[in-house]
Structure 1
Amino acid sequence: MSEELILRPLETRDLPEALAIQSAVYPAFLIEPAEAFASRLNVPAQFCLAAVRNGELVAYLLAHGWPRQSPPPVGAELSVSAPSEILFIHDLAVGANGRGLALGRRLVKRAFELASLQQLTRAELIAVEDAAAYWKTLGFAEEEIPATLEAKVAAYGQSARWMTRAISNLPGE
């Protein structure tokens, strides 16, 4: 039996499966309510993606245009009127049935392609739960946290790291 893997926009109908993946991979303090999660799908410049394998959501990426150096707080519902200065990668999660398929890399690559069509040239994120090493493999670098961001980054956990990079090809491409 051949396996079918599809990358497509994340949709409202995916929320139950996406929330289940979120609950399985993140600690309780990083779990966002359904309303906050869903609000990322309503931002005008949204690049939220789903990886579907044999009809099952196995990974998702929440990414959207957002103001530079202004990460939204955990659990915040997003405003649809926020300007799109950068691509903010809010959440990347791969469920157990999606591991080992390079889905994170594939989802980020597709989000970069979509964001560059909107003339976005930089990406920002907060790496959580010791994920900074992973994001470095995708070309992100830790930056010194401006004083205005210290509290926001700290709210994402003790190991949270502020990371940025230019939107271009991923390393190794």
Structure 2
Amino acid sequence: MQVRDIPAVMSIQEESYAAEVHEDEAVILNRLAACPQLAWVAEDDQGVCAYLFAYHSRVGKVTPLDGDFESPAKADCLYLHDLAVSRRASGRGIGPALVQKNLEQARTQKLRYSALVSVQESEAFWSRLGYAAHTELEPPQASNLASYQIPAVYMVRALH
């Protein structure tokens, strides 16, 4: 992902997510600046059609909506913060392909897990990719999960 891709990212976010979970452009730019090597886009003949933001974290640590990416010194987890595919590109396997690309990177970096917050009834999608609900959260992390203001499920998968 490059800064020039941000208008397309914002457009895809707008069509993909409920208004309660939209993040503003400044937050998106901060995410790109924090982990450019883990921010990916997919393109088709009309331009950017999907994106994925990720960063290194620890299992059990939930990023609140609009929260900064905080990579701990002893990361054990690739946290997938935001995956969205435009309507025109849905059903082509682009989302799973972006996830697999990031998981391959995580394995080479010796991370043991991947985690995410599932919203908008996407739990079945993530389950097909090997993720399972992780309900044992410390109170501050449960509060971060509640920041999404819509039903949200913290999910984890092993990378081995």
Same fold by TM (over 0.5)?
yes
Aligned match of 1:155: 147
Aligned match of 2:114: 123
Asked whether the equivalents of residues 96 and 129 of structure 2 are also in contact (C-alpha less than 8 Å), the reply is yes
Structure 2-normalised TM-score? 0.89
What is the number of residues matched between the two proteins?
158
RMSD value, Cα: 1.8
Aligned match of 2:41: 50
Aligned match of 2:7: 16
Could you say what secondary structure the match of 2:60 adopts? coil
Deviation sequence 1:7-53 (CA, Å, 0-9, x none) = xxx12111000011001111111110111112222235841111100
Structure 1 vs Structure 2: percent identity of aligned residues?
Answer: 28
Q: Give how far 1:144 is off.
A: 1.6
Deviation sequence 1:62-117 (CA, Å, 0-9, x none) = 111123322221112335x6433310000110101211111111000000111122
Could you say what secondary structure the match of 2:126 adopts? helix
CA distance 1:45–1:82, shift in 2 (3 Å): farther
1:74-153 mapped onto 2 (5 Å cutoff): 74-79=65-70, 82-83=72-73, 84-148=75-139, 149-153=141-145
Asked whether the equivalents of residues 103 and 159 of structure 2 are also in contact (C-alpha less than 8 Å), the reply is yes
Could you say what secondary structure the match of 2:33 adopts? coil
Aligned match of 1:60: 51
Instruction: Say which structure, 1 or 2, has more relative contact order (CA 8 Å, 6+ apart).
Output: 2
Asked whether the equivalents of residues 128 and 157 of structure 1 are also in contact (C-alpha less than 8 Å), the reply is no
Could you say what secondary structure the match of 1:41 adopts? helix
Asked whether the equivalents of residues 145 and 154 of structure 2 are also in contact (C-alpha less than 8 Å), the reply is yes
Deviation sequence 1:100-148 (CA, Å, 0-9, x none) = 1111110000001111222212001110111111100101001123132
Aligned match of 1:6: none
Distance, in Å, in 2 between the alignment partners of 1:104 and 1:137 is 12
Distance, in Å, in 1 between the alignment partners of 2:7 and 2:132 is 33
Counterpart selection for 1:37 from 11, 14, 28? 28
Asked whether the equivalents of residues 68 and 86 of structure 1 are also in contact (C-alpha less than 8 Å), the reply is yes
Where do 4+ consecutive residues of structure 1 move more than 4 Å?
none
Asked whether the equivalents of residues 55 and 69 of structure 2 are also in contact (C-alpha less than 8 Å), the reply is no
Q: Look up the equivalent residue of 1:154 and give its one-letter code.
A: A
Distance, in Å, in 2 between the alignment partners of 1:25 and 1:147 is 30
Distance, in Å, in 2 between the alignment partners of 1:43 and 1:121 is 21
Distance, in Å, in 2 between the alignment partners of 1:66 and 1:40 is 14
Structure 1-normalised TM-score? 0.83
